[in-house]
Amino acid sequence: MTTRQRFSRLGRKVQQGFTLIELAIVLAVIGLIIGAVAIAKDVQRNAEYQKVVNKFAYQWKMAYDQYYQRTGVVLGDCQQAPTYMVDGSATQIGGNPSCTRAGGQGVAGVPENFTGKGSKICHGQGYAAGQVGAGDATLSTVNNLRDLMSRAGVRMPPGRGEAHEDRFLYIDSNGNAAELQVCFQWNPAGTASGAGNVMVIRGLTPDLARFMDQVIDGKPDSREGRFRIQGRPVHTTTTDANAPGTQWEANNTQGVGITDVGGTNSMGGTADTRGTISNTSGSTAGEAGGRKLDEDRVILLTAHWIMEQ
């Protein structure tokens, strides 16, 4: 065999394709890389959610408890004649302010005999009423969250920044900015989202709500435990009493704030031309227009975290 023939055979051998084993190994490696990227995204998102819980929600829970320890009353209540209700200083009993109790001796000092109760204490309105779930209470006209905490010398979480300690900025799963807001309010007996004093957390995506519920309660259930959804209509029916819990409504693929052409969306932006999305409570929330694009702002919810005092 001549030298030319040997090189010719070697060239043909070099030009041969991959074997099935080699292709299988390459595909397996590509699959592992894709899987690792997907897992890394989930790990990163869970880390962001954990930061929301640890650096914002739990810090506000501690601030609320510290206010109670320092003042002897719950947020916005009367020190000289406590009502045990958030924003209690804005209520009346016997036709007179609750803090003086003048004329209130003729009735029992239970919440049913007080008027002007149930407003939430915030630092500004934030999201408009009903914008991030049904059932929003009115904003207190007497007490301000930041002013009360500052007067009591309670250190607030850093939040979004100075004078925005009650807010926290995060990114939803579609890459859009969303804001959490913390308020406090008193709920009357029989309220499905929890009776008594609660922390109101507005602006939660469904996934973030489920994550927080698992951390606080141990299971993601919007009806039971200390962390519940606000104002879900099905929870107020008599047949729902002592029934199995319900999952958090909607999911992170459903849009919000989208309206028909010719108007503006609920977040204040320019109207969209591709359909309408609802952001009301209920099992079909966010599904009205069938809009599920991965660039839409994710539907936002409101939750109540029941306080110990």
What pLDDT score does 266 carry? 46
- Alpha-carbon 27 to chain mean position: 40
Domain presence at residue 26 = no
| SS3 assignment, position 216 | helix
The structural domain count of the chain equals 1
**Confidence (pLDDT) at 5:** 58
| Per-residue pLDDT at 151 | 95
In a domain, 288, yes or no: no
Please state, in angstroms and as integers, the Cα–Cα distance from residue 123 to each residue in 85, 132, 153, 201, 236, following that order.
18, 17, 16, 13, 29
Given a contact cutoff of 8 angstroms between Cβ atoms, the answer to whether 99 and 91 are in contact is: no
Q: What is the pLDDT of residue 179?
A: 95
Output the pLDDT for position 14. 53
Q: Which domain covers residue 82, as residue numbers?
A: 53-94+113-250+301-306
Q: Which mean pLDDT values do the consecutive 10-residue runs of the chain (309 residues) have?
A: 56 60 74 60 73 93 96 94 94 89 81 94 94 92 96 94 94 88 95 94 93 90 91 69 72 57 43 38 42 76 95
- Residue 163 placed within a domain: yes
Q: Does residue 108 lie within any of the structural domains?
A: no
